[in-house]
C-alpha cells in the first residue's frame, strides 16, 4: 500500500485545538512537529511497523507506519525532542532481522494526530 492509499483517518488522526495543559512543563506549549520518515532496506516482514508502534507509544509520538514499494513510511507527530529520540531509536533499536540501508526524514505540517496506527 502506497502512502497515497493510506486512509485519511490514519493519515490525519483526530483534530484538536492545540490547547496544552500543565503536564510536566509548567503549562508551556511544547514545540510540536510532524515528520515523515522513509526507511529503506530489509524492513518489511521483520516486525518493523509493530516496532515503530511500540517505540512511538513509549515516546508519546502519534502518527502511523505503512509499507510502501521502497520500505516503510512513518509519519510521526510530537514534541521535537521526542521525535529526535524516535528517529534515532528507529535505527539504534531496530528489530534484529531489519537491515536499514537508507533513512530519509522530511518535516511536514502538523495535523493534530492522536495515537499511532499500523496501516495494512
pLDDT tens, residue by residue, 97-115: 999 999 999 999 999 999 9
* pLDDT above 90: residue 25: no
In the chain, % helix, strand, coil (3-state, to 5) comes to 30, 35, 40
Decide if 31 is catalytic.
no
Q: pTM (2 decimals)?
A: 0.76
* CA–CA distance, 61 with 14 (Å, rounded to integer): 14
Decide if 9 is catalytic.
no
* pLDDT above 80: residue 93: yes
pLDDT at 120: 83
pLDDT at 22: 36
* CA–CA distance, 3 with 45 (Å, rounded to integer): 18
Which residue among 36, 49, 58, 110 is the active-site one?
49
Beta bridge partner(s), residue 105: 37
**Domains located in the chain, CATH noted:** 31-110 (3.30.70.100)
pLDDT at 27: 55
pLDDT at 92: 97
pLDDT at 30: 75
Count the Cβ atoms, other than its own, within 10 Å of residue 55: 21
- Stretch 62-81: mean pLDDT, rounded? 97
Which residue among 67, 87, 102, 114 is the active-site one?
67
Amino acid at each position: 500500500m502506497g502512502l497515497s492509499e493510506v486512509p485519511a483517518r490514519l493519515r490525519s488522526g483526530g483534530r484538536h485545538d492545540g490547547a496544552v495543559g500543565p503536564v510536566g512543563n509548567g503549562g508551556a506549549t511544547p514545540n510540536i512537529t510532524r515528520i515523515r520518515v522513509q526507511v529503506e532496506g530489509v524492513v518489511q516482514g521483520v516486525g518493523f511497523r509493530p516496532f515503530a508502534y511500540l517505540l512511538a507509544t513509549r515516546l508519546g509520538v502519534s502518527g502511523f507506519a505503512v509499507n510502501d514499494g521502497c520500505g516503510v513510511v512513518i509519519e510521526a507527530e510530537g514534541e521535537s525532542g521526542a521525535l529526535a529520540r524516535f528517529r534515532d531509536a528507529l535505527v539504534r533499536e531496530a528489530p534484529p532481522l531489519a537491515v536499514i540501508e537508507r533513512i530519509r526524514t522530511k518535516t511536514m505540517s502538523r495535523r493534530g494526530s492522536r495515537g499511532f496506527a499500523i496501516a495494512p
